[in-house]
Amino acid sequence: MSDALLSIHVRRKTFGETLVLKDVKLQLQPGEVVSLLGPSGCGKSTLLRIAAGLDRDYSGELSSAGESVAFVFQEPRLMPWLSVARNIGFHDDGHYDQAWVRQLIEEVGLSGFAEALPKALSGGMAQRVAIARGLYSRPKVLLLDEPFSAVDAFTRMKLQDLLLDLARRHDIALLLVTHDVDEALYLSDRVLVMGHRASGIGGGIDVDLVQPRDRRDPVLAELRIQALTQLKSAHVV
Amino acid sequence: MSASENTLAKAAPAPRRASPAWRRGAKGWLLPCLIVIVLEIVVRVGWIPAYQMPAPSDVALTLVELAQGALGKHVLASVGRVLAGFVIGASLALVFAAWVGLSREAEAYLEPTFAGLRAIPSLAWVPLLLLWLGIDETSKVVLIAIGAFFPVYVNGVAAIRNIDRKLVEVGQMYGFSARRLTLRILLPAAMPGLFTGLRSGLSMAWMFLVAAELIAATKGLGYLLSDGRETSRPDIVLAAILALAVLGKLSDGVLAAVERRCVSWRDTFTGEATGNRS
C-alpha cells in the first residue's frame, strides 16, 4: 500500500554476531493503532528504534513521514532542569509555541503543573509530560516503546485511555511496543506477535472492536487466548 | 487525569518540621566557640607557653591591629592572585574538558598527556616557574592556575562522560545539531559535575597561593605567614591563617550560591530522611 504513513522492511539487523531481526515487514496506515507484542530480546524495541531513525545500522528500507514521526521512550526522559512546559516545548528551545504547550498540558491533565520541575512529578505524571512532548511536533505517527511498563496497573489503565483519546483527537497513528497482552489487545487495531530472536513477526491478531472499548469485553478475553496461543506456539510462553 | 494524582503530588511538599535556619547556624558555631574558650583558659592558666600558642584574645588583638595597618594590602594582593590564577586555570580547564569530553579523538590525543602532567605533584613546578618566570607576579599566578586546572579538568570530563545517554538520545531523536545538543542537553546536564570541579579548583587555588607566597613574596597572606614565623610571632601566623580561612570560605560561598541557583533542579539526597535531624 502506498498511502502507508510508515513502511519498514528490515532484511537483516545484527548486533555484532547476533542476528536480531530477519526479513521483517511492517506498515502503518493513517489513524491505525498497531502493537508489537513479544518477549524481551525479540527485537521489537530494535524495530521501533529503526522506525524512529535512531538506529541506522541495518539492511533494509524505511519510508516514513519523516518529520512527523515522534517517539515516546520507556522512561519519561525529561530534562530535569526544565519545567514541564519547557520540556514539552523542548523541540523549539526557548521560543516554543506557548499556546500549543498550554493546550497539551491541559489535554494530558496536568493543568497547574506547567512550571513544576520533573523532580516534583510522580512516574505517571512524568510519562504524561513525555507523551505531551511527543505530541508537540504535531506528528502523524507516534512510536511508543513500552511507555507504561514502569507505572502501576491503575495508572497504566488511565494512561492507556489518555493515549487513545489523544491519538483520536489529533489523528495520529500509533505503533506501540509492549509485552503486556491485555494492553496490546485493548489499544490496538492490529497486534503483531513476535517470537524469539530473528524468528520475525509470526502471526497477527486483528481486533475488530470499536473504540472506546470495555476492558471486560468477552471478545477481548477470547482474543487474549488466541494471542497466548500464538505466543505459546512461538515458544515465548 | 485523576484528581487523586493531582492532590497527592500537591500534598507531598507539605511544610516540614525543619529547624529554623539560625538554629542550624548556631549548631555550626558550637564547636569553634568551644575550642576558642578552652584554648583561652589553657593558655591563661599557663599550661601552654604563650610564645608557642598565643591566647585567642591576643590573636584577635593582633588581627585588629593588622586590620588597621597592612592587612588590607596583603588580602588584596592574595585575592588578586587567586582570582587571576583561578580564572585562567579554570577557563583553560573547562575548554579542554569540553574538548576531551565531547570527542573521543581529542581524548585519544590529549588525555594521556594530561594524565601524565596530573601525576606530577604541582608544587614540583615551583623551581621551574621561578627559573623561567622569575619571582614576580607571573610565576605565582601561573602556579595557582596549574593548581586550579586539574580538579576542574578532571571533574569536567567526568561530568560530561556521566551524562545519561538516554537524555542525549532525546536530542538525537529531534535531529539536534552537535551545537544544539551541547547547549540544550550536554551543558545543563554536566552542570552539577562542573561546579564540583570549580569548587575544588578554587580551594586548590588558595592552597597554591600560600605555597607561592611562602616561597617568594613581599606581600600577601602567605608572606604574612612566613613573616610571622621569622619574627617568632605565632599570633601573626594565626591571624593570617584566620584571614585565609575566612577568604576561602567566602569565595567558596559565592560559588556555592551560584551553584544552588544553577542546579536547583537536582533531585538529590539532602540528609533529611536519615532521622538524624533536630
Interface ipTM: 0.85
- When mean pLDDT is compared across A6-15, A115-124, B251-260, the lowest value belongs to A6-15
What's the mean pLDDT in B100-106?
92
Contact A109/A128 with Cβ under 8 angstroms? Answer: yes
Residue B40 has pLDDT above 80, yes or no: yes
Instruction: Please tell me what DSSP assigns to residue B27.
Output: H
> What torsion do the CA atoms of B195, B198, B204, B208 make, to the nearest 10 degrees?
-170
Q: Which residues of A touch B5 (CB under 8 A)?
A: 122, 124-125, 155
Flag whether pLDDT at B236 surpasses 50: yes
Q: Nearest by CB to A77, which of B166, B188, B266?
A: B166
Contact (CB<8Å) A158/B1: yes
Q: Best-predicted range by mean pLDDT among B5-9, B80-84, B125-129?
A: B80-84
Cα B103 from Cα A152, distance rounded (Å): 40
Name the residue among A71, A113, A158 with its Cβ closest to that of B2: A158
DSSP A67: G
Q: What's the CA gap between B6 and A107, in Å, rounded?
A: 14
- Partner residue facing A75 (CB), from B166, B180, B185: B166
pLDDT range class, residue A72, cuts 50, 70, 90: very high
User: What confidence score (pLDDT) does residue B19 get?
Assistant: 64
Pairwise CB contact (< 8 Å): A73 & B170: yes
CB-CB contact of A96 with A89 (8 Å): yes
Mean pLDDT of A13-30: 87
C-alpha cell at B162: 556521566
Supply the pLDDT for residue B277.
44
**Distance from the Cα of residue B271 to its chain's centroid:** 22
Asked if A79 lies within 8 A of B188 by C-beta distance, the reply is: yes
Angle between helices B71-102 and B56-68 (to 10 degrees): 90
Residue of A nearest to B3 (CA): A109
Lowest mean pLDDT among A61-65, A68-72, A164-168, B185-189: A61-65
Contacts of B266 in chain A (CB under 8 A): 80, 119
Contact B174 A108 (CB under 8 A): no
Relative to beta strand A6-15, strand A59-64 is: antiparallel
Q: How far apart are CA B160 and CA B87, in angstroms?
A: 21
Distance from CA of B62 to the nearest CA of A (A): 48
Q: Across the interface, which of B2, B12, B267 has its CB nearest the CB of A80? A: B267
Query: Rounded mean pLDDT of A93-119?
Result: 93
| Other beta carbons less than 10 A from residue B135's beta carbon | 14
How many angstroms away from the CA of B76 is the closest CA of chain A?
37
| Residues B197, B189: Cα–Cα separation, whole Å | 14
Considering only the beta carbons, identify the residue of A73, A93, A118 that sits closest to B166: A73
Which of chain B's residues have a Cβ under 8 Å away from the Cβ of A128? 1
Q: Which of B9, B13, B189 lies at the smallest CB-CB distance from A122?
A: B9
Cβ-Cβ contacts under 8 Å, B166 against chain A: 73, 75, 77
Rounded Cα distance between A35 and A41, Å, is 16
Mutation target among A54, A68, A91 for the B interface, most CBs of B within 10 A: A91
The model's confidence at residue B278, banded by pLDDT at 50, 70 and 90, is: very low
pLDDT tens figures, A166-198: 999 999 999 999 989 999 999 999 999 887 766
> Which cell is A203 given?
502471526
Distance CA A157, CA A160 (A): 5
Searching chain B, which residue's CA lies closest to the CA of residue A110?
B1
User: What span, in angstroms and rounded, lies between the C-alpha atoms of B1 and A163?
Assistant: 11
For chain A, the average pLDDT equals 89
A-chain residues within 8 Å CB-CB of B191?
Answer: 81
Residue of chain B nearest A49, judged by CA positions = B173
Interface of B with A (CB under 8 A): 1-2, 5-6, 8-9, 12-13, 166-167, 169-170, 172-174, 180, 184-185, 188-189, 191, 263, 265-267
Q: Inform me whether the pLDDT recorded for B273 exceeds 70.
A: no
Q: Which residues of A touch B170 (CB under 8 A)?
A: 73, 77, 79, 90
Query: Which residue in the block uniquely carries the three cell numbers 506498515?
Result: A27
Over 80: is that where the pLDDT of B166 sits? yes
Closest chain B C-alpha to A234 CA, distance in angstroms: 31
Average pLDDT, chain B: 88
Mark yes or no for CB contact B189/A112 under 8 Å.
no
Give pLDDT, residue A194.
85
